[in-house]
Chains A and B, each alone.
Chain A
Amino acid sequence: MRDASRVFSSTLLWPLLVLLALLVVNVVANPGFLEVRVQDGRLFGSLVDIVRNGAPVLLIALGMTLVIATRGIDLSVGAVAAIGGAVACVYMVSSPDESGLGTALVACALALATCVALGLWNGFLVSVLGIQPIIATLVLLVAGRGLAMLVTDGQITTVNNDSFRTIGVGFVLGLPVAALVAWAVFGLTALLVRRTALGMLVEAVGINPEASRLAGVRAVTIRWTVYVFSGLCAGLAGLMIAANTSAADANNAGLWIELDAILAVVIGGTSLAGGRFSLAGTFVGALLITTLAATIPNIGIPSETNYLFKAVVVIVVCLLQSPKARAVLRRRRTTPAPPAPPAPPESPTPTLAKAGTR
């Protein structure tokens, strides 16, 4: 019941409405936008492209949500994704059986293990050494691309492996594999976080680390774990990006994706100050960001202004979510329209003190 009320809380309402508005804009510009057709046993259409292209951002935003909930931030995810892709491609190219399924599996496992190790490094800096997260992860943001270059020897490494390609562009049961993987990881994580006590403990650590420590919460372990998880998500995203083009591009793979992910988290209503987080919000946020990316070419905005357009939409969403801006809107309308935060029910406390006043 609490989850339901959270889904429909007003912070999620506005991103959803903006998402809807974006879709409407797209349909107006291109009436065939919503069209999804079946061809060669799989789905085709702009919507399918959106969910497929949005998979990496969704995954990275998922890891980012948990990191941000602990008052942290992970700027290194784009670089980590590039390293993951580079490790996988270089392994496959140097393997005797470049196009085999087994090679692809080992390559993916190797890449993910590398990214987990990078997450361990980030988490160690933040939780054990106590370095500020923005600085600690900046180290890898800067050094990570260099590491990826080292792995690929400065070349764009192209691989020829159809099994590997599937992660990026394949379809299963007519649906894009990338989206299926991302959604499955997302769903499993959401389940894990809310069905176990992990979510509550993450929030407690994010809201008041010292009080949590004194209550026996292993705050160091929890903070460390979320960075490892973020690294894993980034690695998975890196594999998708590399598989999309069947190439590892150390310079451009996952470039600026950390910013898209942070935006998705913030649009989803999770505060950068840490504490309460909303995975449902992040999901909508990531969808909004990718839809935005698809909208720009679709409605014919010249490519040189596309960053500007993106900025405007993001600003609008953030304004709609800001309590101050909403208070202004409310005052102008003079009707008490926006839903109030879920209020505790009136509790009849049968105490002597209260009885005295009645």
Chain B
Amino acid sequence: MTHLDSAEPVVSMQDISITFGAVTALDGVSVRLFPGEVHALMGENGAGKSTLIKALTGVYAVDGGTVTVQGRRLSFSSPAAAQEAGISTVYQEVNLCTNLTVAENMMLGREPRFLGAINTRAMNRRARATLERLGLDVDPASTLGDHPIAIQQLVAIARAVDVDAKVLILDEPTSSLDADEVEKLFAVMRRLRSEGTAIVFVSHFLDQIFEISDRMTILRNGRLVGERMTADLTQLELVQLMIGRDLEVLEKLERELGEEGSTVVDETPVLRAVGLGRKGSLLATDLEVRPGEVVGLAGLLGSGRTELARLLFGADASDTGTLEVAGRRAKLRAPRQAIDRKVAFLSENRRSEGVIADLSVADNMLLALQATRGWLRPIPSATRKKLVDEYIEALDIRPADPDALMRNLSGGNQQKVLLARWLITEPDLLILDEPTRGIDVGAKAQIQQLVADLARRGLGVVFISAELEEVLRLSDRVVTMRDRRKIDERTNVDVAVGDVLEIIAGDARAEEVGARA
């Protein structure tokens, strides 16, 4: 490794405890970060990774334990104090101002000034230099919101890099990046590492963890499982440490999923789109989903997967083509019309398009059902309780408290609540856009299992994921998209990841893309 074990850690957190009311989020957790190392923080959803990061960045106050930065004991009262101590963070969901320019976002609060006024030219120049250092070809004067999420994420990282942080925290930075961009990010991380920066890396992609990290700390249920050198662990051992249950269970689940080809009955398709399109987002596309069938949508970021899903649900209105739901023509102008026809859609943007943060778990779960009933017919409290308890148990939602505020749940548990929201409406067609993104192995397997079960019960499912293995494991049919249109459709018999990659990229690009998949 790049340092001796006797080296001084740049950050040392000792016996950190944090409680929210009666819930203990962290219980005596210790973490050491060494300069010139990539340190992976591992654990399932709700294990306490995000809480630990927020303690280190001054978002949460620590109830017990000490934080030592470069030998000095510090207690951060605010994110600004943590930044001053040299700790920079890039969060999972981009936290930038989309209405400002790229450069303004990077320099926010540290703008170069001339006679008190912001010196725009100097700011753009400095931003461009930093972006170029990261190998990013982005115009610093362009508006951030005009760029895809992936670029916004990289700008967030560029902002952190620009501060010359001693500690750089990357919370799920790769969840919305494609293979090229991940490679770019890793190149930057390696460079920063060689310059002596301590990098905290959180990701659910185990391959990425093993590719980039030197050391890892593993958490489970708010407690420390242990600190390990990455080189000393296999992926299987790591998963075992994270979820604390026998891996056989997981493997068995995977095998079951592999074996059961769900039997598709030849009935009226639950959904049929002919020439469906929308100016500027999707070219005319045909799609058919039959009951009990899982149709996987494969393709890179921006290939039109999400755009198609949104048209099928009426989240955006189509301007060409026709749509039939359960054999009847449907012109969808609003999501509500799709929901009334028993179509459900889980958006890829959990935070902005799914979660109602300040409402309880129960209210979040019942929102779609309540909306279809209308406000005059509230769900009787007995039914409420029954449905909520049933789904909290079935989906293993933690904490198992219907009155907990949605904002206090971890990402994976929020995702389960949103899934429950749709399952409660008893849909005939379920459109899942990246349902397992940013979710740990255990919850991921649970959700995959659930999708397979639902299909067996006769639901039609449209399954979208950037992870090709996942698409291929679950789907009966694979539809491949590129450049905002469907380029291929085939029954999923002996289709390998490589096949799909070849379709997507053409032979020339297949190898590049392979890195991600």
Contacts and interface: CB of A to CB of B under 8 A. Distances in A.
Interface in A190-248: 195-198, 200-201, 203-204, 207-208, 210-218, 222
B363 A216 contact: no
Given A203-B359, A207-B357, A214-B335, A196 B243 contact: no
Contact of B244 (A210, A346, A357): A357
A353 B44 contact: yes
A73 to B, nearest CB: 19
Contacts of B377: 196-197
Interface stretch (B281-289, B364-372, B502-510): B364-372
A211 B315 CA distance: 11
A43 B252 CA distance: 78
A196 B380 CA distance: 10
A218 to B, nearest CB: 6
Interface size class of B (residues with CB under 8 A): 35 or more
A222 B23 CA distance: 35
A204 B399 contact: no
A218 B371 contact: yes
Interface stretch (B123-131, B142-150, B261-269, B345-353): B345-353
Contacts of A210: 352-353
B114 interface: no
A201 B373 CA distance: 12
A213 B336 CA distance: 8
Interface size class of A (residues with CB under 8 A): 35 or more
Contact of B336 (A198, A204, A216, A357): A216
Nearest to B242: A353
A198 B357 contact: no
A351 B352 CA distance: 30
A345 interface: yes
B378 A195 contact: yes
Interface string A274-316: 0110000000000000000000000000000000000000000
A346 B22 contact: yes
A326 B335 CA distance: 43
Contact of A200 (B22, B357, B359, B442): B359
B489 to A, nearest CB: 27
Given A343-B21, A349-B398, A214 B221 contact: no
A100 B340 CA distance: 51
> Which residue among B315, B356, B404 has the maximum number of chain A CB atoms within 10 Å of its CB?
B356
Contact of A344 (B21, B221, B421): B21
B21 A218 contact: no
A340 interface: yes
Nearest to A340: B21
B356 A353 contact: no
B367 A357 contact: no
Interface string A334-358: 0000001111111101011110110
A203 to B, nearest CB: 6
Contacts of A2: 403
Contacts of B340: 216
A208 B375 contact: no
Given A204-B356, A213-B334, A214-B315, A344 B44 contact: no
A349 B400 contact: yes
A344 B403 contact: yes
Given A203-B358, A276-B358, A353-B243, A214 B23 contact: no
Contacts of A207: 356-359
Given A196-B376, A344-B21, A344-B399, A356 B354 contact: no
B223 A204 contact: no
A151 B67 CA distance: 69
Contacts of A222: 375
Nearest to A346: B22
Contacts of A196: 375-378
A207 B352 CA distance: 10
B372 to A, nearest CB: 6
Nearest to A341: B21
B245 interface: yes
A218 B375 CA distance: 10
Given A214-B335, A353-B245, A344 B22 contact: yes
A342 B421 CA distance: 24
> Which residue among B357, B367, B377 has the maximum number of chain A CB atoms within 10 Å of its CB?
B367
A197 B367 CA distance: 10
Contacts of B345: 214
Contacts of A342: 21, 403
A353 B244 contact: yes
Interface string B157-187: 0000000000000000000000000000000
Contacts of B421: 215
Contacts of B195: none
Given A347-B401, A354-B221, A216 B355 contact: no
A201 B371 CA distance: 8
A2 B360 CA distance: 11
A341 B360 CA distance: 14
10 contacts: A200-B367, A201-B371, A207-B356, A213-B335, A214-B347, A216-B368, A276-B358, A345-B401, A349-B396, A353-B220
**3 interchain residue pairs of minimum CB distance:** A343-B21, A356-B244, A216-B371
Interface of B: 20-23, 44, 220-221, 223, 243-245, 249, 313, 315, 334-336, 339-340, 345, 347, 352-359, 363, 367-368, 370-379, 396, 398-401, 403-404, 421, 442
Given A218-B371, A340-B21, 7 more contacts: A195-B378, A196-B377, A197-B374, A197-B375, A211-B356, A345-B401, A357-B221
Interface of A: 2, 195-198, 200-201, 203-204, 207-208, 210-218, 222, 275-276, 340-347, 349, 351-354, 356-357
